[in-house]
Chains A and B, each alone.
Chain A
Amino acid sequence: MPSQLINMPIADMLSISPTYLLHYLPLIVAISLVFGATRHEDTALILKHSFHTARWITGFMAFIFVVLAFISWLI
């Protein structure tokens, strides 16, 4: 049932402790800023590019998470 999937706590969908997700924060900040700064010289453009990169990577990972959670629910 999709409602069961929606009501399922996120912690139950993860095979690891949710606190491990905190490891994601410094990585995404560093990767986004370095990506942005190696493509621009202007600080405002660097920050804008970094924000787009962070949003894209986060969105992609969220999509993969939803797909895996759905497959897990099917199984």
Chain B
Amino acid sequence: MQLEDNFIEVDNIEIDLRNRKLAALLAWLIPGAGHFYQGRHTKGSFFLVCILTTWIIGFALGGGHVVYASWQPGDRRWHYALQAGVGAVALPALVQGQRMKHKTDADGRTMPSYRPLWGGFMAPPYRPVFEDRADEVSAWYAVHGAGYEMGTWYTMIAGLLNILVIYDAFAGPLAIPISGRKKEDADAKPSASDDDTNAESSAQTSDDPN
């Protein structure tokens, strides 16, 4: 139920979303931070623990090499676009990627003078990278096996989940589908007849401006 611009009511709890855009930005930077800013501490804790744990497990499974930013022939790391959904923890990859970009010659090879920062933390692989030849990426696969693939998935899923969290910080909880609301009504009123339940659900639907 929409009360005012920044006040909504969900589950009979009134929520002050405060500055929505700032909350969304904070939610992107650190999962759950936007909710802490809005005083929604329980949900903020859920998001912080769930998303960062998933992301860290994935990062560890892949030996710390699954998150990097690169857009070179043979190594178009589109996964990073999803991994970056968790915000600040993925940002070092952008710095490393930019550093590698400046140290890549016209032939797409990493220059000998290249030195990654922070011991190679989130650094892209040495170039060139080919799908059918032995290079640094294939070495990572060889060392970590399925963990590399699994780690990539974990970190991507964490980033995707944080998109839901950003939306929640900006606009409040997502609407439950009408079918779900009918089921909840039925659970809440087991003694009511089906006709009553359907009538109530229809009324809710007609009230919903969406």
Contacts and interface: CB of A to CB of B under 8 A. Distances in A.
B147 to A, nearest CB: 9
B174 A38 contact: yes
Contact of B13 (A30, A39, A41): A41
A31 B161 contact: yes
B161 A40 contact: no
Nearest to B10: A41
A45 interface: yes
Contacts of B157: 27, 30-31
A38 B150 contact: no
A33 interface: yes
Interface residues of B, number: 30
A40 B51 contact: no
Nearest to B57: A26
A56 B10 CA distance: 24
* Chain B at the A interface: SS class: helix
Contacts of B164: 34-35, 38
Given A23-B150, A39-B176, A43-B42, A34 B57 contact: no
A16 interface: yes
A38 B51 contact: no
B46 A34 contact: yes
Interface in B1-41: 10-13, 15, 40
A34 B176 CA distance: 14
A37 interface: yes
5 contacts: A30-B50, A34-B161, A34-B165, A46-B43, A46-B46
